[in-house]
Amino acid sequence: MNEAARIPVAQPAPLLSVRNLRTWFHTFGGVVKAVDGVSFDVAPGEILGLVGESGGGKSMVGFSIMGLIDPPGRIEAGEIVFEGEDLARLDEARMRRVRGKRVAMIFQDPMTALNPLYTIGNQLEEMLKLHTDLPSARRRERAIEMLREVGIPQPESRLDNYPHQFSGGMRQRVVIAISMIARPRLLIADEPTTALDVTIQAQLLRLMKHQVTQNAASLILITHDLAAVSQMADRIVVLYCGRIVEKGRAADVIERPRHHYTRGLLDSIPHHDKAQARLRQIPGSVPDIRKLPPGCAFAPRCPAAQDICRRVEPELVETATGQAAACHFPIEAIR
Amino acid sequence: MAPLLAVRDLRQRFDVSGSIFDRLRIRNGRITAPRRIVHAVNGVSFEIARGEVLGLVGESGCGKSTLAKTVIKLHEPTGGAIALDGEDITQHDFHRMRPIRKKMQMIFQDPYASLNPRQRVRDIVMEPYLENAAGPVPDVAERALALLAKVGLGREHADRYPHQFSGGQRQRIGIARALSVEPDLIIADEPVSALDVSIQAQILNLMMDLKDEFGFSYLFITHDLSVVRHISDRIGVMYLGFMVETGPKDAIFENPLHPYTQALLAAAPVLGTPLPPAADAIKGEVPSALNLPTGCPFRTRCPLAFDRCAAERPVLKSQGGGHAVACHLHDAGVPVA
């Protein structure tokens, strides 16, 4: 264990506190409990990794925080307390003043966030116009400054370009510039580098970390890439079928997972720094979220499942180190 | 023994100029009609032995998928030669390729797009076999079930349609279809990239088990370095349509020689390690294949580039132990054919 872990840190009030969030979709095929009783905090300046496979509900947590859940989806219960204000209770008009200004979100495909009909200069300046009282002359300067910060060469001339004139990696840089220009307190990044090549991915992860640190903002990094999250996050939350199965400090979760699903995910990744004969695999596949088994949703695929797992849903139990797992038979750390 | 697949100086170009009206430009007061050529594959040579797995890695746009499709003749090559089992198939037309397809099959990245939505699974997996069968096949139903069993699907799955399966199961169907003709070589183009990690491991294990059982070879294309290290015997690294380094997998991972290979390995995230410092990072982006740089294709991003790199294109030179690199910094070796 490293030194930092031993020093007790006074916990500051969280920037964001999600409490018992339930986001459900009422479809003809049944109720999809995309997020079902999720609670976590994000401290100021913290990078939180939200991981899991497709269907885990990680993106829906991000959408819920941003107030972007449309019918047939609905936030059924829970609180999303951000800087002391419950975002789940805000109407659309007041939510608009939060989005972009205080909380910003970026997506996997930068083209979904960029308007193809406006120059990126327009789009950067629009954010400043909406969310700051900067005079128009200063706005252009600030836009150029921001493009330079995210590593776009010749920002003065690039400002007048349209999104299609940029490559995929450059577009994602532009999106980061737009999302950070109003200096939000919290950035939510949903698979921001999944569509990009490894060399570009590393550049962008570094850029996001730098932007967040420099502005003393927090970051929720939503991704299926455990390796990337282990390099970025301070803490990790693992989701499976809309529920939290494990959370804790990044190093603890990666090195000493307590939930069998987390361990299964980690074991499934081929290690490129050492060769193995065979990968350990999680048997079966993610169940249909409309017909979750009773008890623990992971029980049908779990190597340690017993009778009780198929009957009683396990609670998240926290250990002394702040690591929590929702499991009747958690993996005990070998010290 | 002759290699199973031998590819020599393969080239693939695509003319994307469009019609004469799209091409017309006025330059310096004169009307010109320049062509726009995508140089997708630029003189790539490699061999695959029987039972061997060659992993091809590179970033998007490096030509690895085009190379695969050219090898299996979905694209007609612009230049070079392809020999399968000693038979030169470069000039084979559609009809002469049909018996070849019994020896060489392909698995695609997208398990949604590569299966016919209107066919039952039992018909999908038997199609390549029936296409190549000399006469009627009386035991077609049993054969289909046996194939499905090989990839971990049951009798109850045989009469379903592709949309009734998950991504991982669809990839299993694609693998069963390739297996139906008992090929010597399977070309797998990013077969696990669209799948979740836990399913990825299942499919990779299945692919390796089948290889051990049937003894065929893989040309395995992926952008994922951890996957390529797991599955390959030898690795080829591509950049902008060029093969920049090839060698046994341990040589590539433990002693990468090309600055691009080094950068690629440094950029790939590794579990539980800190984000690599910016100093190690590769800068800029891949140049356009419409307009290749002179000399070394990587020189525009290479931290070690010097005068010669712009003037002269490096060729693959052997460094011993089957390891070859195309870089002026490793100039001493013997050129590989």
Q: Where do the domains of chain B lie?
A: 1-18+36-94+234-270+280-337
Indicate which CATH number applies to the domain containing A65. 3.40.50.300
Residues of B in contact with A202 (CB under 8 A): 267-269, 275-276, 281
Decide if pLDDT at B138 tops 80.
yes
Judge whether A325 lies within some domain: no
- Show the tokens assigned to B29: 């007061």
Q: Lowest mean pLDDT of A299-303, B123-127, B136-140, name the range.
A: B136-140
**A202–B270: do the CB atoms touch at under 8 Å?**
no
B267 vs A199, A251, A282: nearest CB:
A199
B59 vs A197, A265, A275: nearest CB:
A197
A152 Cα distance to chain centroid: 25
Residues A195 and A287 in one domain: yes
User: Which pLDDT band holds residue B134 (cuts at 50, 70, 90)?
Assistant: confident
Decide if pLDDT at A7 tops 60.
no
Beta bridge partners of B235: B55, B247
Average pLDDT, chain B: 90
**A227–B250: do the CB atoms touch at under 8 Å?**
no
Distance, in Å, from the CA atom of A272 to the CA atom of A258, rounded to the nearest integer, reads 24
Q: If you ran DSSP here, which 8-state letter would residue A191 be given?
A: S
pLDDT at residue A275, rounded to an integer: 54
pLDDT at residue B21, rounded to an integer: 79
pLDDT at residue A10, rounded to an integer: 56
**A265–B225: do the CB atoms touch at under 8 Å?**
no
Average pLDDT, chain A: 89
CB B159 within 8 A of CB B122: yes
Residues of A in contact with B272 (CB under 8 A): 230, 251, 254-255
10 Å Cβ neighbour count for A247?
Answer: 28
Residues A90 and A216 in one domain: yes
B234: closest CA of chain A, how far (Å): 13
Neighbouring residues of B337: CB distance < 8 A, sequence distance ≥ 6: B8, B45
CB B28 within 8 A of CB B70: no
Point out the domain boundary residue: A152, A183, A214: A183
Number of domains in chain A: 2
Residues A171 and A271 in one domain: no
Residues of A in contact with B251 (CB under 8 A): none
Class of domain B1-18+36-94+234-270+280-337: alpha beta
- Best mutation site among A197, A204, A209, A282 for testing chain B: the one with the most B CBs within 10 Å? A197
User: Which pLDDT band holds residue B1 (cuts at 50, 70, 90)?
Assistant: low
Residues A167 and A124 in one domain: yes
Mean pLDDT of A78-104: 93
Q: Lowest mean pLDDT of A37-46, A269-278, B75-84, B101-110, name the range.
A: A269-278
Q: If you ran DSSP here, which 8-state letter would residue A148 be given?
A: H
CB B85 within 8 A of CB B103: yes
Q: Where are the beta strands (DSSP E) in chain B?
A: 5-15, 25-27, 30-32, 37-48, 53-57, 79-84, 87-88, 104-107, 185-189, 217-222, 234-239, 242-248, 317-318, 324-325, 334-335
Decide if pLDDT at B265 tops 60.
yes
Residues of B in contact with A255 (CB under 8 A): 272
B200 vs A202, A254, A268: nearest CB:
A268
Residues A251 and A265 in one domain: yes
CB B275 within 8 A of CB A232: yes
Residues A92 and A190 in one domain: yes
Residues A276 and A219 in one domain: yes
Residues A191 and A225 in one domain: yes
Decide if pLDDT at A8 tops 70.
no
Amino acid at the residue B241: G
A145: closest CA of chain B, how far (Å): 19
Decide if pLDDT at B135 tops 90.
no
Alpha helices in chain A (DSSP H): 3-6, 58-66, 92-98, 110-113, 120-131, 136-149, 155-158, 168-180, 198-214, 226-232, 250-255, 260-268
Mean pLDDT of A86-107: 92
**A272–B226: do the CB atoms touch at under 8 Å?**
yes
Judge whether A96 lies within some domain: yes
**B229–A54: do the CB atoms touch at under 8 Å?**
no
- Best mutation site among B64, B169, B198, B222 for testing chain A: the one with the most A CBs within 10 Å? B198
Residues A35 and A75 in one domain: yes
Mean pLDDT of A199-226: 90
**B269–A224: do the CB atoms touch at under 8 Å?**
no
Neighbouring residues of B213: CB distance < 8 A, sequence distance ≥ 6: none
Decide if pLDDT at A86 tops 90.
yes
- Identify the residue whose tokens are 């009422």: A26
- Best mutation site among B271, B280, B300 for testing chain A: the one with the most A CBs within 10 Å? B271
Distance, in Å, from the CA atom of A34 to the CA atom of A61, rounded to the nearest integer, reads 9
| Cis peptide bond prior to A155, omega within 30° of 0 | no
Task: Give CA separation, B171 vs A114, B127, B203, in Å.
Answer: 34, 16, 8
Task: Give CA separation, B131 vs A237, B127, B144, B187, in Å.
Answer: 51, 6, 14, 19
**A202–B198: do the CB atoms touch at under 8 Å?**
no
A268 vs B198, B267, B269: nearest CB:
B198
Per-residue pLDDT reduced to its tens digit, A262-284: 999 998 888 755 555 778 888 88
Could you give the 3-state DSSP secondary structure of residue A94?
Answer: helix
Decide if pLDDT at A6 tops 70.
no
pLDDT at residue B194, rounded to an integer: 81
Mean pLDDT of A292-298: 91
Distance, in Å, from the CA atom of A27 to the CA atom of A29, rounded to the nearest integer, reads 5
pLDDT at residue B287, rounded to an integer: 85
pLDDT at residue A270, rounded to an integer: 82
pLDDT at residue A3, rounded to an integer: 45
Q: Lowest mean pLDDT of A57-61, A112-116, A269-273, B236-240, name the range.
A: A269-273
How many Cα atoms within 13 Å fall on the side-chain side of residue B143? 18
10 Å Cβ neighbour count for B73?
Answer: 21
Neighbouring residues of A246: CB distance < 8 A, sequence distance ≥ 6: A236, A237, A238, A253, A257, A258, A259, A261, A262, A323, A324, A325, A326
Residues A276 and A141 in one domain: no
Decide if pLDDT at A335 tops 50.
no
Per-residue pLDDT reduced to its tens digit, B269-294: 888 777 777 666 677 778 888 889 99
Domain of A122?
A: 118-183
- C-beta pairs of A66-70 under 8 Å, 24+ apart in sequence: A66/A99, A66/A103, A66/A105, A66/A188, A67/A92, A67/A95, A67/A98, A67/A99, A68/A105, A69/A23
Helix axis angle, A136-149 to A120-131, nearest 10°: 120
Could you give the 3-state DSSP secondary structure of residue B312?
Answer: coil
Among B60, B65, B67, which residue's Cα sits nearest to residue B41? B67
Distance, in Å, from the CA atom of B68 to the CA atom of B78, rounded to the nearest integer, reads 14
Residues of A in contact with B168 (CB under 8 A): 285
B225: closest CA of chain A, how far (Å): 6
Angle at A266 between CA A264 and CA A268, to 5 degrees: 70
User: Which pLDDT band holds residue A29 (cuts at 50, 70, 90)?
Assistant: confident
